[in-house]
Structure 1
Amino acid sequence: MRPGLRMECADGRRLVLVRETAGRGPVPVLFARQRVTHRGVHYARTGRHVSPLAPLRAERAREYAEFAAPGGAAWRDRWAAHAEAGLRAADAGPLHAGAWRLGPDATGWFVERHWDHLLPHDRDRGHLTWFGYGDPEGDARDLLPLRALSRPGAPRVRAYRRQYREGVLPPVFAWWISGLNVPVVLDGHDRLVAALAEDGRPEVLVLSRAVGAQDVARYSEHLVRAYEERMAALEDGPLRGTRAAGAARRFAGELERVAGSPDRTRAWPFPGGVRAWEEAAAAHVPGWRPDADG
């Protein structure tokens, strides 16, 4: 069964994020086209994104902060459970059959210096670079908002800035989309702005399809061999125990990153193919002509 919020695709690396609710037809949220060189993706937002989660009340933020220290594992787990329940009940959420993961980034995806690019370079139409390759530095962004970000002085943002200073600001909920090679913001656009406006960093919980157990085992084979080789090469002596413990911690971290890696995002065929996609893009984001050949 197709979820209410889903990726659809057409030939020529054409993508579109669609939102569909009961009794209403599909509404495009985001058009995208990958570059033929696989160095990035051009995108155009339509301004039609609606969070699949209900608005958060300040009382809940403080309740969860009293339950567990904000930023800690128990606090993140509580918010992840809250978001998962909301997404499963949503008319237009991204969940479909299969295993999912919702939690903190386990792959080291977010680059510290890229956070400074987010607010000044947020545009309804833009480009995200995947590997640099001479693209403008501001195109290196690790999170894609699905609507225009509010001003730091907007009323809702000011309220969230107070929560940030109090240490109770809820996390931002994002969704990893492999065709874009970036997580998109499902819920928490104003919380994102609030944290950045306070010279801080938001807590981000990322939703993704979970990698299957067989894939985890296959991807981990070379890590196991490397760990065994490192342990076998350790020399006897007073530092052997310390070095062995360090190797074990490194190995555990590598396995955790593999298990937490996102699986590929499923996309459904766009009805009507390329011609229909081009017509839809012209209607919803007129004048957008991405240079996808570079």
Structure 2
Amino acid sequence: MNRATREPLPGGGLVLTVPDSGPDAGPDVVPHSVPSLRFERATGRDWTLTQGERPLIRARSEGDGCCRDLHLHRLPGHRSPLPPVSAAMMRAGGDWTHRYARWLEDAKEYGPLHPGRWQLSPRPTFAPGIWSCDLVQDWPDATLELLCGGGWHGVLPLRPLPAPDAPRVKAQRKHVREGTLAPVLLWWVSFLDGWLLLDGHDRAAAALAEGTPPACVELVRVPDEADWRATAEQITESHEEMMARLAAHPASPHIDRQRQALERGYADVISTLPYDAGGTLMR
């Protein structure tokens, strides 16, 4: 099988480059061109999250101006793209990020991967409120108050979170106390400026019942190589023009400081371009 290529990142993350499965891709490439889990635009204000042929979310944006309300109606039937994680597997531990990457590659029936570059990385911390007031617990209907620019910056489960005393949650709470709980899987959605909870609803409920946010692996679409290289060329051209203008001035400590600041800023921007969060595909 022609697997996606992997680029390891500092901190235990990786970039997964999923190959195209078009007519020239070869018979052994995993078919991801039209992912099972996908967003589909119905009208200018309506969209649907679909898994296979089953709708999971029907959404409608209402209001005028930049701050709107997004009304959601979620439906049952979400299937996790990851296989069940056993208690023995959690106690054994391991590299969950790379394991989830492999499972997502194989999740042709339920997963979101399509050709391109995807970053998976541990997400140990969040801004205050993400797993409390910004965790959507109403079911099946909910309303998100989108901030100016379109986002809301919270976590949206794809099925109801079970109660803290549910039997399967009780079993997971022991792993929280032991420090062996497997991370949940979050998918960053750019036009929501927030995350979908793809896997680990019981584990999330267990961690929250124990008073701690769950450990997470975050799945983010990042720019394709051609796109970030084109952006890098534009930034480089602009940087070279600014450096040339500085070079036309007489040498001085002030000019030296400006040059150093420009060089540092240029290096910082170029180094992060391949890993900046990209836009989530809406079909």
Give TM-score, length-normalised by structure 1. 0.66
Mind listing any 5+ residue stretches in structure 2 that lack a counterpart? Answer: 1-32, 247-253
2:191 matches 1:159: no
Q: Please state whether the residue corresponding to 1:99 is helix, strand or coil.
A: strand
Asked if 1 retains the 8 angstrom alpha-carbon contact of 2:223 and 2:274, the reply is yes
Q: 1:48 aligns with which of 77, 94, 99?
A: 77
Aligned to 1:117: 133
In structure 2, the residue matched to 1:74 is none
Larger RCO: 1 or 2 (CA < 8 Å, sep 6+)? 1
CA shift in 2, pair 1:120/1:32, >3 Å: closer
Is 2:65 the partner of 1:37?
yes
Once residues 207 and 268 of structure 2 are traced to their aligned partners in structure 1, the CA distance between those partners, rounded to angstroms, is: 28
Structure 2: distance between partners of 1:3 and 1:119: 26
Tell me what 2:104 maps to. 87
User: How far apart, in 2, do the equivalents of 1:251 and 1:193 lie?
Assistant: 43
Give aligned pairs, total: 233
- Give the alignment partner of residue 257 of structure 2, picking from 233, 239, 242: 233
For residue 267 of structure 1, give the secondary structure of its aligned residue in structure 2: coil
Counterpart for residue 210 of structure 1: 222
The change in CA–CA distance for 1:15 and 1:168 in structure 2 (over 3 A counts) is: same
Tell me, yes or no, if the aligned pair for 1:119 and 1:149 is still in contact at 8 Å.
no
Q: Secondary structure at the match of 2:34?
A: coil
* Match status 1:2 vs 2:34: yes
Give 1:233 deviation, angstroms.
Answer: 2.7
C-alpha spacing 1:202/1:132, structure 2 compared with 1 (3 Å): farther
For residues 161 and 44 of structure 1, the distance between their equivalents in structure 2, rounded to whole angstroms, comes to 29
User: CA offsets per residue over residues 258-279 of structure 1, 9 Å max, x none?
Assistant: 54332111122xxxxxxxxxxx
How far 1:178 sits from its partner (Å)?
2.3
Q: Map Cα deviations across residues 58-113 of structure 1 (whole Å, 9 max, x no partner).
A: 1111111xx5xxxxxxxxxx21221121122122211111111111359x8x3212
Larger strand fraction of residues = 2
Alignment of 1:253-264 (within 5 A): 258-264=273-279
Corresponding residue number in structure 2 for 1:186: 198
Tell whether 2:33 aligns with 1:18. no
Whether contact under 8 Å (2:56, 2:78) holds in the other structure is yes
Letter of the 1:179 counterpart: F
Percent same amino acid among aligned pairs? 33
Change (3 A) 1:101 1:44: same
Contact 2:221-2:278 within 8 A present in 1 as well: yes
Structure 2 distance, partners of 1:143, 1:92, is 20
TM-score with structure 2 setting the length: 0.69
Tell whether 2:142 aligns with 1:130: no
1:191-218 C-alpha deviation (Å, 9 max, x unpaired): 1111111111111212122223455463
Distance in 1, Cα, partners of 2:268 & 2:138 = 33
| Structure-to-structure mapping, 1:57-96, within 5 angstroms | 57-64=86-93, 67=94, 78-90=95-107, 91-96=109-114
C-alpha separation in 1, matches of 2:282 and 2:136: 31
Contact 1:115–1:141, Cα closer than 8 Å, also in 2: no
The 1:5–1:120 alpha-carbon spacing in structure 2 relative to 1, beyond 3 Å, is closer
Q: Is 1:157–1:191's contact at 8 Å kept on the other side of the alignment?
A: yes
CA 1:191–1:38: 2 relative to 1, 3 Å: farther
For residues 256 and 160 of structure 1, the distance between their equivalents in structure 2, rounded to whole angstroms, comes to 39
Q: State how far apart, in whole Å, the 1-side matches of 2:271 and 2:61 are.
A: 30
Structure 2 contact 74–141 (Cα < 8 Å) conserved = yes
Which amino acid letter does the alignment assign opposite residue 140 of structure 2?
D
CA distance in 2, matches of 1:214, 1:120: 36
Which residue is 2:185 aligned to? 173
Alpha-carbon distance between aligned partners in 2 of 1:252 and 1:57, rounded to the nearest angstrom: 44
Query: What is the identity, as a one-letter code, of the residue corresponding to 1:95?
Result: L
Q: CA–CA distance in 2 between the matches of 1:191 and 1:52?
A: 15
1:42 is paired with a residue whose SS is: strand
**Hey, what's the Cα distance between the residues in 2 that align with 1:253 and 1:79?**
29
Q: Give, in angstroms, the shift of residue 3 of structure 1.
A: 1.2
CA deviation map 1:126-151 (0-9, x unaligned): 12233279xxxxx9651110111111
In structure 1, what is the Cα distance between the partners aligned to 2:267 and 2:178?
Answer: 34
